[in-house]
Amino acid sequence: MSGDSGGLGGWRTRQPSPGLGGQRGPPGTARANTTAPGLRSPEFPRYPSLYTAAGMALILVISLALVVALAFLFSKSPGRTLWFFFLGPLQNRYQSGNMLNGAVPLIFGGLGVCIAMKANSFNLGGEGQIYAGAFVSTLAAVALGDWAGPALPGMPAALSAILGWFAVAAALLAGAVFAGAAAWVSGFCRAKWNTSELITSFLVSGSLVLIVNYLVTGPFMDRETNLLSTEKIPELFRLPLILPPSNLSAALYAALGAVVLVSLFLSRTRTGYEIRMTGSNELFARYGGIETGRITMLAMFLSGAFYGLAGGISVYGTYYATIKEFSSGLGWNGLAAALIARFRPALVIPAAVFFAWISAGARMAMQFSDVTLELASIVQGLILLLATSQVLLDLFKRSSPR
């Protein structure tokens, strides 16, 4: 059984799920993999097939060709537009650093999607989870600022630094747990009542965005700034810059470390194996003694937690406050990056950099030529559309000799 089976971008069709523990009801009611019925043991390919990689490369080439076509259609100076679109983000340290900084939250969001999809779960709540995670992390940083701020008289500098980093980690964890809990609700509803987590996660996300908007522009609004934002986080919680004068911060190291940890978690741990087994063939997993309902909830929680980390890291490394709707689009771009990566954590890095490059190039083209920022949205939308289709992914496979 291939890891890139049919359906929406490799997503497998599922049957109704049993109760919360994944053990109730007759075996025939399990969400079996329709491409491998029965108790056939699933396989876990470690690397994408050559045909899949060729299909994804074709999708990217078509998307970039669209950029060229749009530039000639809507720009009076297409050469200048294409120059700034493709090379503008790479022309100096400032632009390159900001481009990489834009990839950091996409890496965290893409990892969250990968974890959920490995369990055959659909988390479409990234927009609200990033926003809510950022807001809770901001409040936690402001609340912990006085406690972990100036060192007490006589306190060793090393101990003061340890307390400071502990406070930073605790504040980020608070946002991650809150966002994870929001996603866990959808996992619980699916495991308990077989509701579609695709729908519930999207609805919960929309509610979170509205609630956070009210809180940011109401009770927690900073009255001393012209922005619709919360109070700025203390200096202690601001991540150090690693490529000045750009906004690229130490959050990049955290993102790369997260990729390594998620890869090891999914491939080298028992829980990771249970997640992959549940996503590949739940009927087989249930007969193997895996509580698939618990795994579904865990995968959704971890997915939301990584989305929450994306929001918290964005605040601590770039914005230093929760600005109203600053994260708009990040959830969907993280999902698109995971689709391009075929839900493989290591491939999320180049996919996220690609999307950050597209966004940065569109901004540069808008500033220095006569096109609008919507150029990036068109390209990203096309990539998402093509990446969720099996037609191009299977093109090389069908044309290959048997």
245 cis-preceded (ω within 30 degrees of 0)? yes
Distance between CA atoms of residues 122 and 114, nearest Å? 10
106: CATH:
1.10.3470
The answer to whether residue 89 is domain-embedded is no
Q: What is the pLDDT at residue 89? A: 92
Paired tokens of 269? 């741990």
244-253 pLDDT, tens digit each: 999 999 999 9
Whether residue 131 contacts residue 332, with contact meaning beta carbons closer than 8 Å, is answered with no
More confidently predicted of 150 and 316: 316
184-197 pLDDT, tens digit each: 999 999 999 999 99
pLDDT interval class at 289 (50, 70, 90):
very high
Q: Which is nearest to 266 in space by CA: 347, 186, 340? A: 347
Instruction: Collect all residues with Cβ–Cβ distance below 8 Å to 313 and sequence separation of at least 6.
Output: 104, 105, 108, 172, 239, 251, 254, 255
Paired tokens of 391? 């037609």
Q: What is the pLDDT at residue 30? A: 43
Q: What is the pLDDT at residue 157? A: 66
Angle between helices 78-86 and 50-74 (to 10 degrees): 140
- Number of independent structural domains in the chain: 1
Paired tokens of 368? 């220095």
The answer to whether residue 391 is domain-embedded is no
Q: What is the pLDDT at residue 386? A: 75
- Decide if pLDDT at 8 tops 50: no
Paired tokens of 16? 């109704």
Whether residue 241 contacts residue 247, with contact meaning beta carbons closer than 8 Å, is answered with yes
AA identity, residue 194: N
pTM: 0.84
The answer to whether residue 185 is domain-embedded is yes
Q: Which is nearest to 139 in space by CA: 210, 229, 204, 224? A: 229
The answer to whether residue 237 is domain-embedded is yes
Residue range(s) defining the domain that contains residue 334: 94-152+171-374
Distance between CA atoms of residues 117 and 9, nearest Å? 11
Widest Cα–Cα separation across the chain: 76
69-112 pLDDT, tens digit each: 888 888 888 899 899 989 999 989 999 999 999 999 999 999 99
Whether residue 259 contacts residue 79, with contact meaning beta carbons closer than 8 Å, is answered with no
The answer to whether residue 291 is domain-embedded is yes
- The DSSP call for residue 326 is T
202-232 pLDDT, tens digit each: 999 999 999 999 999 999 999 888 889 999 9
Average pLDDT for 321-350: 91
More confidently predicted of 388 and 57: 57
User: For tokens 């996503």, what's the residue?
Assistant: 279
Q: What is the pLDDT at residue 49? A: 59
Instruction: Give percent helix, percent strand, percent coil of the chain, each to the nearest 5.
Output: 65, 0, 30
Q: What is the pLDDT at residue 113? A: 96
- Decide if pLDDT at 380 tops 80: no
CA distance to 33, 77, 111, 124, per residue, from 114 (Å): 18, 40, 5, 12
Helix (H) or strand (E) holding 300: helix 292-314
Whether residue 138 contacts residue 321, with contact meaning beta carbons closer than 8 Å, is answered with yes
Q: What is the pLDDT at residue 24? A: 40
The answer to whether residue 201 is domain-embedded is yes
User: What is the residue-averaged pLDDT of the chain?
Assistant: 83
- Decide if pLDDT at 170 tops 80: yes
The answer to whether residue 379 is domain-embedded is no
Distance between CA atoms of residues 55 and 387, nearest Å? 9
> From the CB of residue 44, how many other CB atoms can be counted at a distance below 10 Å?
14
Instruction: Collect all residues with Cβ–Cβ distance below 8 Å to 363 and sequence separation of at least 6.
Output: 373, 376
Average pLDDT for 165-183: 95
Q: What is the pLDDT at residue 37? A: 45
288: helix, coil or strand? coil
More confidently predicted of 31 and 254: 254
35-69 pLDDT, tens digit each: 444 455 555 554 555 666 777 778 788 888 888 88
- Decide if pLDDT at 234 tops 80: yes
The answer to whether residue 43 is domain-embedded is no
Give bridge partners of residue 249 from the DSSP assignment.
Answer: 241
